[in-house]
Structure 1
Amino acid sequence: MIHLFQTLLLLAFPALVITAAVKDLTSYTIPNWIAGALIAAFAMAALAFGLPAGTIGVDVAVGAAALAAGMIMFALRWIGGGDAKLFAAAALWLGLGPSMSYIFYTALSGGLLAVGLIALRSAPARAILPQGPAWFARLAEPGAAAPYGVAIAVGALAAFPLSALVARY
């Protein structure tokens, strides 16, 4: 029974970051409850998997550092507030070891997202694209923001197999 509970806790991470990506893609917002649920699920997973207190402390420090970095990026208007919170909550789950992979994959997918949005927002692409839902039209609008939560989710999912929690599974 404990194994089932641990499995469900581990599945919470991809489910929540994918939910955040879809919400950001379709509405340019990431609800606060997603970051809150990630934090709560991490606390339960850390206990269920018996993470040592030192590991939990390092994970919390990594999450706090990611939040500080996210707040700076938000203040510079590089990302939205929901992006900063998602970035930090995912970093909490990933910890120190996978953090460089997380940053690398997030930056790489962010670059690919930017290239894709530039192509989507070009005049030739807009002329041939079929009319779609309102969120897609807003996404294709030149000068619109980028839903960076998508890149954060891709980076988090790519680094997740390297996390201490997955290693204990």
Structure 2
Amino acid sequence: MHLIQISLLMIFPALAIVAALKDVTSYTIPNWISLALIAAFFPTALVSGATWPAIGLCLAIGVGGLLLGMGMFAAGWIGGGDAKLFAASALWIGWPAAVPFMLATGLAGGALTFGILALRSGWLEPVLAGSPAWLRKLGAQGGDIPYGVAIAAGALATFPQGALASAILG
């Protein structure tokens, strides 16, 4: 049973990494990633032994994450895929790790922004000339910030403290 629990638990970090890689290379996070995270949450929660109130609290945190993500999307701060990834991640993280998740995501977003600003500063232009197309696009002036990378980093940093991981890993 423990092997099944661990296998289901590893779905979250695997999909968070895929989302970050997709976002950094294409500035999109496919809907299937967020949908797969939501779908995988329920069997993982059930095999983790989470109580119905704990599952309900995770759902409430996920809905709160969706509302917050929608607000950030409406303000133009993040893309739609980022908002959906944020909500799906919040569902998995649950309580009490929701606040550290938001803080870690914000810090990762700041570091990502500074890194991309350095990349776009012009002093790395000779290096970017021979780089892959996605990296040249990332270094292009006036481009977007792939915030899914920051969301994935924040989620991965706080995942061990999350409701499901702590239930399974102890």
Shorter chain as denominator, the TM-score bin is over 0.9
Aligned position for 1:120: 119
Deviation at 1:164, TM superposition (A): 2.0
Letter in 2 for 1:89: A
Letter in 2 for 1:22: L
Deviation at 1:133, TM superposition (A): 1.0
Aligned position for 2:2: 3
Deviation at 1:127, TM superposition (A): 3.4
**4+ residue segments displaced more than 6 Å:** none
Cα deviation code 1:53-81 (max 9, x no counterpart): 00011100000011001001111111000
Query: How many residues get paired?
Result: 168
Whether 1:148 aligns to 2:155 is: no
Whether 1:89 aligns to 2:91 is: no
Structure 2 counterpart SS, 1:103: helix
In 2, Cα distance between equivalents of 1:142 and 1:15: 31
RMSD in angstroms over aligned alpha carbons?
0.9
Whether 1:14 aligns to 2:13 is: yes
Structure 2 counterpart SS, 1:165: helix
In 1, Cα distance between equivalents of 2:61 and 2:100: 13
In 2, Cα distance between equivalents of 1:13 and 1:47: 15
Aligned position for 2:138: 139
Q: What TM-score, normalized to structure 1? A: 0.97
Structure 1 counterpart SS, 2:76: coil
Deviation at 1:128, TM superposition (A): 4.1
Aligned position for 1:29: 28
In 2, Cα distance between equivalents of 1:140 and 1:132: 10
Gaps of at least 5 residues in structure 2 are none
Letter in 2 for 1:51: A
Aligned position for 1:48: 47
Letter in 2 for 1:107: G
Gaps of at least 5 residues in structure 1 are none
In 1, Cα distance between equivalents of 2:139 and 2:29: 19
Letter in 2 for 1:124: W
In 2, Cα distance between equivalents of 1:167 and 1:103: 18
In 2, Cα distance between equivalents of 1:142 and 1:127: 15
In 1, Cα distance between equivalents of 2:62 and 2:41: 11
